[in-house]
């Protein structure tokens, strides 16, 4: 069915639009592969999930799917006895953490279906702890993941320190034979740069030549044993890391069904919230699928693929006794868009998706059939008419009383009289069979048939005859004219042709048709008046809304002014208190103040004390030690100080100044002290293992180097790389001098050719 849906009503393009709201690949794929279902219970379940998600979002709540990724391939690897990489194991743990958070959140909500899905998930806490205890946030196995690995890294550092000490002694002793007084690393082995004439003097191995060709990188014989020991320890480290990954992969394999089940559930949840976000952002709703009733209602329907700013909303409805909706009107007037909108919303509802309506009632259909567009086939030698008839024949043969059939321009593409007669007979057959039919037509005979049949609702799309432009408004109960002559005249067709065409039309037109057109014109005039009154009512409602908003605005402004007044009053009281304190200090200073000045000062203090007493009397019910709740905030705490109209509240370890009129005394809650966990939660941290100083001045670079080394020592990093470049050598020399003075630097050496050569320095720290 999907290819037909995509071609007929752009079903796939709408799914892509909804898929943009999904959080990870599994839910995107599930949305894009959706299709109308036959199982009514499954349809209703999907709609109910989306409805609960919409209700949560509209309350200001939402579920985070951060960390959700498709871990199915990694989990399946473990089932085949394959070993996951540390990064893959970290992704599985991150996914399970996301499952845990999602479950905890949904269990606190008042939903039903979403809570059921949450309860079905198992976050595998033991697996999360195992992975997080051994793998850091960068996706690497931690140095202290096991006791053995920790000891191997310690041995590696100690061996390197011993080797570096031996290298310093060797360089000092044989400086005349060396090109530079530093060591470097070649293929993981510590070496020195020796002049070519002395390269065989020290035994050992010659690894490579310098770029100038004047020297060679030599590993002296005294370095070989320690280099071999380092290589051996590194090999043992790799083996231990491999063992750790294998152990964790086996744990994943033991939980594979649970993890894959969690992935499926998280996919369902993300799909539900994607539907909800799409519907809320575009003002849609969850359709009601009716099993017994056969009426349809799409209130203020809007096509999702049309720009919301340009889209005209329309209401489409069919009563219980009506089986067919017939839409007429001129070409390019919006008939096909109307058909596609109704067909799309029926298909979306049966696939469990929201629709862009204010309200939607849709009957349950066991099959959906579409015949829209030009389906002519060169391969099968089918013309437009032949392809349409072929499709309609298939529909008539397989449809049931619970089928939905959408036909565009039925009977078109052949002789008008024969086409109209065929269209009438097809519609009669489908109506008698009990199908719900949505169709469009240009034929006057077909429109007359619809007018005379109580089971057919004839409607049209409006066309402005003054501007010769479609309005895209749906008019129920009125069949639309084709406006062929008016449109032809607008395109400057010869007048004599148009006059002759009118004569031919009048000769062939029956009296019944003339009376029908007059009736339609009267109905159209009534609808125009009705639409005008509707707009006037909408304008009145809009004015009422604006007046209400203006009232709220002024009420808020008045409230802000009162708060500002209270703030200013409090500030004035504090100033007066300071003045009183200053007066008292002056009185205590000595006898040089005259008696009338003392009396005046005492009178001012008395006035200030009266003001303070009046202010405090307003809040006599609150005192220090009371437990209160802050108005409009979900916060509460203990009063630790009261001054004027403000109280100092201790809330969750933080002090807040709040006006007393915003406080309400409440009962102090019972606080239970949580038990301390025996095991610490793993802390993930990131620290760069190299510092780039290229482009900095010497002073700036040295300051940056000192800060970096302090951080490296704080993070207990044992080895870092300093990138300073070659240049004039000033920055490099300054770096080396600074490293020699630093108390935490054990040794330094030039980097190997693959690590920057003389443009970088490897530093070992205590």
- pLDDT tens for 414-449 read 777 888 888 899 999 999 999 999 998 888 888 888
- pLDDT computed for residue 329 by the predictor: 76
- Are 289-482 and 618-670 the same fold in CATH? no
Residues 6+ apart with CB under 8 A from 317: 295, 296, 297, 298, 476
pLDDT for the residue numbered 31: 95
Average pLDDT for the chain: 83
Read off the pLDDT of residues 476-500 as tens digits, 9 standing for 90 and up.
877 655 555 565 666 666 677 766 6
The SS3 of residue 694 is: coil
Cβ pair 646, 661 in contact under 8 A: no
- Tell me what pLDDT residue 612 has: 45
Residue pLDDT, tens place only, 754-764: 777 778 898 98
Query: Does the annotation flag 419 for ligand binding?
Result: no
Q: Is the Cβ–Cβ distance between 7 and 373 less than 8 Å? A: yes
pLDDT confidence bin for 542, thresholds 50/70/90 = confident
Both tokens assigned to 712: 């490296």
- Comparing CA positions, the residue from 463, 545, 524 lying closest to residue 537 is 545
Q: Are the C-beta atoms of residues 325 and 458 closer than 8 Å to each other?
A: no
Pairing of strands 403-407, 436-440: parallel
Query: What stretch of H or E contains 691?
Result: strand 690-692
| 289-482 has CATH 3.10.150.10 classification | no
pLDDT in tens, 203-215: 888 988 888 888 8
Chain position carrying tokens 């198992």: 122
Span 605-644, pLDDT tens digits: 555 544 444 444 344 478 888 888 887 666 778 888 888 7
At 298-334, the pLDDT tens digits run: 999 999 998 888 888 899 999 989 999 999 877 666 7
Q: How confident is the model at residue 680 (pLDDT cuts 50, 70, 90)?
A: very low
Q: Return the percentage of the chain with pLDDT > 70, whole number.
A: 82
pLDDT, position 510 = 55
From the list 412, 431, 408, the residue with the least C-alpha distance to 421 is: 412
Proportion of the chain above pLDDT 90, given as a percent: 40
Top CATH class of 690-765 equals alpha beta
pLDDT at 682 over 60: no
The pLDDT of residue 333 is: 63
Contact 657, 646 (CB under 8 A): yes
Helix (H) or strand (E) holding 551: helix 511-589
Residue with token string 């394999």: 253
- pLDDT band (50, 70, 90) for residue 246: very high
Can you say whether the dihedral through the CA atoms of 175, 179, 180, 184 is positive or negative?
negative
Annotated ligand binding at 62? The verdict is no
Is 45 annotated in some ligand binding site? no
Choose the CATH number for 618-670 among 3.40.50.2300, 3.60.110.10, 2.30.30.30, 3.10.20.30.
2.30.30.30
Sequence-separated (6 or more) residues with CB below 8 Å from residue 69 = 24, 25, 91, 94, 95
Higher-confidence residue of 375 and 462: namely: 462
CATH number of the domain at 2-124+255-281, out of 3.40.50, 1.10.1420, 1.10.3470, 2.60.40?
1.10.1420
pLDDT for the residue 378: 36
Does the annotation flag 336 for ligand binding?
Answer: yes
> Is residue 20's pLDDT more than 90?
yes
Reported as a single tens digit per residue, the pLDDT across 56-66 is: 999 988 888 99
Question: Can you state the angle between helices 2-9 and 11-19, rounded to 10 degrees?
Answer: 90
pLDDT value at 652 more than 70: no
pLDDT of res. 381: 40
- Domain residue ranges in the chain: 2-124+255-281, 147-248, 289-482, 618-670, 690-765
- Nearest-angstrom CA–CA distance, 291 and 362: 9
Q: Which residue has the tokens 């103040």?
A: 593
pLDDT interval class at 43 (50, 70, 90): very high
Q: Which fold has domain 147-248?
A: MutS, DNA mismatch repair protein; Chain A, domain 3 (1.10.1420)
Hey, which of 102-116, 637-651, 717-731 has the most confident mean pLDDT?
102-116
Euclidean distance between CA atoms 273 and 507, whole angstroms: 62
pLDDT of amino acid 294: 86
Nearest to 52 by CA among 43, 40, 64, 61: 61
Query: What are residue 357's phi and psi, to 5 degrees?
Result: -140, 165
Out of 229-233, 337-341, 577-581, least confident range: 577-581
How is residue 135 annotated by DSSP?
B
Q: How confident is the model at residue 226 (pLDDT cuts 50, 70, 90)?
A: very high
Q: Is the pLDDT of residue 765 over 50?
A: yes
Residue scoring higher pLDDT (281 or 555): 281
The mean pLDDT value for 638-665 works out to 81
Q: Is 329 annotated as a binding residue?
A: yes
pLDDT over threshold 80, residue 27: yes
How close are the terminal C-alpha atoms of the chain, in Å? 70
Is 82 a known ligand-binding residue?
no
- Contact call for residues 649 and 630 (beta carbons, < 8 A): yes
């Amino acid at each position: 069915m999907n290819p037909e849906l995509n071609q007929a009503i752009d079903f796939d393009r709408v799914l892509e639009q909804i898929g943009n709201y999904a959080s990870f690949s599994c839910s995107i794929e599930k949305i894009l592969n959706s299709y109308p279902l036959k199982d009514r219970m499954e349809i209703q379940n999907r709609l109910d999930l989306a409805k609960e998600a919409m209700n949560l979002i509209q309350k200001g709540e939402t579920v985070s799917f951060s960390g959700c990724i498709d871990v199915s391939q990694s989990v399946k690897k473990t089932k085949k006895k394959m070993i996951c990489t540390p990064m893959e194991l970290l992704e599985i743990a991150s996914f399970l953490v996301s499952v845990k958070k999602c479950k905890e959140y949904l269990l606190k909500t008042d939903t039903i279906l979403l809570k059921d899905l949450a309860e079905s998930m198992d976050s595998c806490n033991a697996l999360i702890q195992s992975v997080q205890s051994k793998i850091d946030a960068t996706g690497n196995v931690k140095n202290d993941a096991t006791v053995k690995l920790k000891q191997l890294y310690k041995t590696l550092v100690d061996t390197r320190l011993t080797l570096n000490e031996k290298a310093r002694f060797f360089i000092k002793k044989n400086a005349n034979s060396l090109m530079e007084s530093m060591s470097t690393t070649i293929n993981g082995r510590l070496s020195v740069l020796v002049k070519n004439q002395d390269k065989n003097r020290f035994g050992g191995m010659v690894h490579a030549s310098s770029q100038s060709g004047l020297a060679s990188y030599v590993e002296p014989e005294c370095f070989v044993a320690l280099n071999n020991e380092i290589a051996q320890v590194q090999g043992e480290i790799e083996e231990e890391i491999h063992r750790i990954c294998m152990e964790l992969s086996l744990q994943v394999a033991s939980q594979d069904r649970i993890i894959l089940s969690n992935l499926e559930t998280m996919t369902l949840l993300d799909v539900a919230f994607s539907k909800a976000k799409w519907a809320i952002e575009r003002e849609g709703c969850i359709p009601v699928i009716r099993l017994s009733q056969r009426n349809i209602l799409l209130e203020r329907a809007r096509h999702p693929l049309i720009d919301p700013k340009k889209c005209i909303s329309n209401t489409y409805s069919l009563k219980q006794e009506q089986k067919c909706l017939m839409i007429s009107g001129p070409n390019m007037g919006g008939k096909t868009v109307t058909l596609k909108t109704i067909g799309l919303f029926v298909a979306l509802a049966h696939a469990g998706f929201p629709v862009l309506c204010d309200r939607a009632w849709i009957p349950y259909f066991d099959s959906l059939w579409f015949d829209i567009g030009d389906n002519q086939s060169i391969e099968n030698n089918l013309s437009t008419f032949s392809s349409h008839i072929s499709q309609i024949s298939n529909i008539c043969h397989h449809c049931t009383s619970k089928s939905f059939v959408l036909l565009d321009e039925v009977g078109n593409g052949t002789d008008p009289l024969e086409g109209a007669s065929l269209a009438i007979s097809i519609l009669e057959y489908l109506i008698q069979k009990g199908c719900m039919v949505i169709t469009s037509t240009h034929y006057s005979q077909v429109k007359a048939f619809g007018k005379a049949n109580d089971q057919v609702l004839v409607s049209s799309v409006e066309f402005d005859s003054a501007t010769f432009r479609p309005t895209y408004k749906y008019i129920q109960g009125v069949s639309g004219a084709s406006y062929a002559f008016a449109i032809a005249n607008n395109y400057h067709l010869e007048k004599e042709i148009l006059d002759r065409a009118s004569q031919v039309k009048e000769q062939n037109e029956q009296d019944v048709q003339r009376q029908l057109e007059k009736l339609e014109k009267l109905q159209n005039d009534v609808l125009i008046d009705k639409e005008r009154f509707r707009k006037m009512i909408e304008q009145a409602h809009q004015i009422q809304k604006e007046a209400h908003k203006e009232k709220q605005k002024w009420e808020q402004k008045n409230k802000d002014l009162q708060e500002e007044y209270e703030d200013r009053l409090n500030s004035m009281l504090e100033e007066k208190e300071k003045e009183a304190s200053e007066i008292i200090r002056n009185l205590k200073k000595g006898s040089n103040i005259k008696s009338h000045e003392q009396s005046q000062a005492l009178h001012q203090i008395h006035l200030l004390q009266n003001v303070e007493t009046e202010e405090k009397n307003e809040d006599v019910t609150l005192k220090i030690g009371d437990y209160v709740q802050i108005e409009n905030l979900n916060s509460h705490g203990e009063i630790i100080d009261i001054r004027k109209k403000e109280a100092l509240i201790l809330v969750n370890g933080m002090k807040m100044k709040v006006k007393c009129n915003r406080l309400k005394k409440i009962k102090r809650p019972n606080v239970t002290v949580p038990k301390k966990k025996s095991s610490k939660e793993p802390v993930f941290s990131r620290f760069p293992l190299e510092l780039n100083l290229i482009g900095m001045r010497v002073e700036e670079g040295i300051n940056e180097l000192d800060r970096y080394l302090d951080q490296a020592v704080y993070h207990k990093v044992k080895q870092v790389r300093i990138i300073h470049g070659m240049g004039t050598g000033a920055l490099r020399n300054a770096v080396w001098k600074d490293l020699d003075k630093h108390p935490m630097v054990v040794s330094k050496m030039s980097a190997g050719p693959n690590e920057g050569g003389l443009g970088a320095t490897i530093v070992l720290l205590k």
